[in-house]
Amino acid sequence: MSGNPPTILVFDSGVGGLTVLAPIRAARPDAKYIYVGDTACFPYGELPEQTLIERVTSVITEMAERFQPDLIVIACHTASTLVLPELRATLSIPIIGTVPAIKPAAEQSKSKLISVLATQGTVKRDYTASLIRDFAGECDVTLVSARLLAGQAEAVLRGETVDDAAILQEIVPAFVAKADQKTDCIVLACTHYPLLLAAFQRVAPWPVTWIDPAPAIARRVVHLLGEAKADTATPHQGLVLLTDEASWTKALESAFREYGLVRLNGT
C-alpha cells in the first residue's frame, strides 16, 4: 500500500450498505469512498442465483475498472453468500464480504435460542446452513425470511413513514419461546435492517441483543489496510452512484450527505 489514502468501494443492492460504511469511515476517515447502490435490481433477495451472480459480478467489475479501488466491501449478505468466489476469481483487488453473524450470536446467547433475520436468498443459502452447522451446533436456530424489511428500510431513508405494525409483523417470527427459555440474540443478516433498529427495539415482544456485522467488517478493513495516520485531516467527501437514476429523491440525497457522500452526477 502506498502512502496515499486508500480508495474503498462499498457496494450494496440499495442503501443498506450505509450501515457498513459508517463504522468503516469512522475507522479510516482518511480513505476515499465510492458507494454503489444497485437500485436498478433492488431487491436482491428473490433474484434467481445465476442472475444475481452475473449481475453483481458485472456491476462490480465495471466499477472496479472505473474507480480503481484498493479494497471492495460487498455490504450485502444476499450477494456475499453467493458471489464472493466468482468475484475473487475475476478481480485481484481484496474483497470483503458480509455474512450472517451467527458465530458471535451463538457465543453471546445465554438461552441458546437465536434467530437469523434475513432475506429469502440468505435464508436458503448453503453458506448460511454451513455457518449454523459450524458455529451454532449447541443452539436452536430459527431462520426468518423477512420479505418486506429491506424495502421498508429503503422507504424510511427516503423520508416515507412505515407503520410499526408492519415492521412487527416481519420480525415477530424471530421471537421464539420454548419451555422456560426465549430468543435472546437476533442476527441482522441484511445490512438494511440496522436502519430500522430503533423501530425493532420499540416493537419487540421482549428485549434481545441485535447482532450487527458492521463493526467486524470495519475491523477487517483496518486489518487489511492498516490504521489511519494519527494526523488524519478532515474526512474526504465520498461519492455515491445509484444504478437507477429514477430512484433518487431529495430525502435520499440528504441521507447520503449525513454519511459523508454526495451524488456522482452524470452516471
Q: Is 112:139 a contact under the CB 8 Å cutoff?
A: yes
Cα(232)–Cα(236) distance, rounded to whole angstroms? Answer: 10
Q: Record the cell numbers describing residue 235, joined without a space.
A: 474526512
Q: Tell me the whole-structure pTM to 2 decimals.
A: 0.92
Q: What is the pLDDT of residues 149-200, one digit of tens each?
A: 999 999 998 889 999 999 999 999 999 999 899 999 999 999 999 999 999 9
Q: What is the CB neighbour count within 10 angstroms for residue 247?
A: 16
Is residue 116 helix, strand or coil?
strand
Q: Is 176:219 a contact under the CB 8 Å cutoff?
A: no
List, in order, residues 6 or more apart from 218 with CB less than 8 Å away: 20, 23, 24, 26, 27
Peptide bond before 48: cis, by omega within 30 degrees of 0? no
Q: One of 41, 139, 185, 190 is an active-site residue; which one?
A: 190
In the chain, which residues fall in CATH 3.40.50.1860? 7-98+215-263, 102-212
The CATH label, of 2.60.40.3080, 3.10.100.10, 1.10.3210.10, 3.40.50.1860, for the domain at 7-98+215-263 is 3.40.50.1860
Per-residue model confidence (pLDDT) at position 267:
43
Per-residue model confidence (pLDDT) at position 265:
64
- Work out the mean pLDDT of the chain and round it to a whole number: 93
Per-residue model confidence (pLDDT) at position 233:
58
Q: What is the pLDDT of residues 32-54, one digit of tens each?
A: 999 999 999 999 988 999 999 99
Q: How confident is the model at residue 234 (pLDDT cuts 50, 70, 90)?
A: low
List, in order, residues 6 or more apart from 265 with CB less than 8 Å away: none
Q: What is the pLDDT of residues 83-107, one digit of tens each?
A: 999 999 999 999 999 999 999 999 9
Say if residue 58's pLDDT is above 50: yes
Over range 16-20, report the average pLDDT: 95
Tell me, yes or no, if 76 is annotated catalytic.
yes
Q: What is the pLDDT of residues 110-148, one digit of tens each?
A: 999 999 999 999 999 999 999 999 999 999 999 999 989
Is residue 237 helix, strand or coil?
coil
Least confident segment among 56-60, 91-95, 244-248: 244-248
Say if residue 266's pLDDT is above 70: no
Say if residue 247's pLDDT is above 90: no
For 180, counting Cβ atoms within 10 Å of its Cβ (0-12 exposed, 13-18 middle, 19+ buried), the class is exposed
* CATH tag, 102-212: 3.40.50.1860
Where would I find the H helices in the chain? 18-27, 49-67, 77-90, 102-108, 120-124, 126-135, 149-157, 164-171, 197-203, 214-225, 250-258
**Residues β-bridged to residue 59:** none
Cα(166)–Cα(203) distance, rounded to whole angstroms? Answer: 10
Over range 209-220, report the average pLDDT: 96
Tell me, yes or no, if 41 is annotated catalytic.
no
